[in-house]
Structures are given as structure tokens and as C-alpha cells.
Amino acid sequence: MLKQASASGMTSEEMIRAVLELEQDRLWEASIAVHAEFMAEYEYSKANLPLSQRGRYGFKIEKRRVGVTLKWVRFEFFGPKGKRRRMDRAVNRGDETAYPMSAFPTAQPWEKTLIREIEEKAEPLRIWSNKLVRISQMAPSLNTGAGAPQITRADPQIALEEAGA
């Protein structure tokens, strides 16, 4: 695709946008895989553990225009017995790319292990997502001003490196 783009005279901004779309798709697929791993463990616990030992946290992914959001929520239940409803409260991550374990004070012991495992996979995805966002924010300025870089590489990784990712 990028070789065709180069030959067709695409601007550097158009090329970066094409690379961003490819990377966005790869990031989303990786995020889905991490979410599926969490859900498999969560569903197993729901089916096999007593109510008192079930998970108290959930893992959510959301696709954005550029990048993804990978976040944890704490389940809160309210209402009378038989009509209980669940509300998801966001878990505070702070300014870091990984959630500290102190953010999960009410997690079950098995759940803490799962959270650690998921976070080992989610943190690099958050970093990747942040890089895509930065590149996207830079893209409109690439064609302005004298000496603006013209990216003509067919390899998307080289194009990203030259863009400052």
C-alpha cells in the first residue's frame, strides 16, 4: 500500500495517516486479545467461584479516533435484592502508563494475580497508543513551513521513525 502511495504522489501527511490507520488496526487487534484473556478468566471465576470470591474489577477497551483506551473499572452494586444493578467506577491510574497495584485494594487474591498479568500486556499497548496520538497530532504540521520533512519510505516502521515516533 505504501509503495503505491509513494508512486501515486501522496503527501507525507497522507502517508503518515495511512501508516496510522494500519497501526491503529494492529493496536486494536492486540487490545482485543488482552481483553479476551481477561474475560476468559473473569467468566471462569464467575462460573466456578462462590459469590464472595468473585471478581470486583473489570477491564475495558475503547477504540478512539487514534489510539485505544485500556482501563480498569471497579464494580459497585446497589438496589434491593433481586433488582440489584451494577455501576462501573473508573479506577484511577494517575499519570503513569500502568496502574499501581495499590489502585485495587479490594481485589481478590486470584484477581490481583490476573490484574498483574493483564497490566504487563496492557502497559505497552498504552505506550503504543500514546505514540500514535503524538504522531497524529504532528501530522498536520508536517507539510507546513520551509524544510518540512517529506517521508517517502515504503517501510511503515521507517516512516514512523522519521516522523519522530
Q: Average pLDDT of 85-105?
A: 95
pLDDT level of residue 141 (50, 70, 90 thresholds): low
Q: Is the pTM of this model over 0.85?
A: no
Q: What is the pLDDT of residues 46-74, one digit of tens each?
A: 999 998 999 999 999 999 999 999 999 99
**pLDDT > 90 fraction of the chain, expressed in percent and rounded:** 62
Helices in the chain by DSSP H: which ranges?
A: 2-7, 12-48, 109-138, 156-162
Domain ranges of the chain: 2-162
If phi > 0 it is left, if psi is from -120 to 50 it is alpha, else beta; for residue 41 that is alpha
pLDDT value of position 16 = 82
pLDDT value of position 142 = 52
Task: Cell numbers for 5, please give them.
Answer: 502511495
**Average pLDDT, rounded, for the chain:** 84
pLDDT level of residue 89 (50, 70, 90 thresholds): very high
Q: Would the pLDDT of 159 be above 70?
A: no
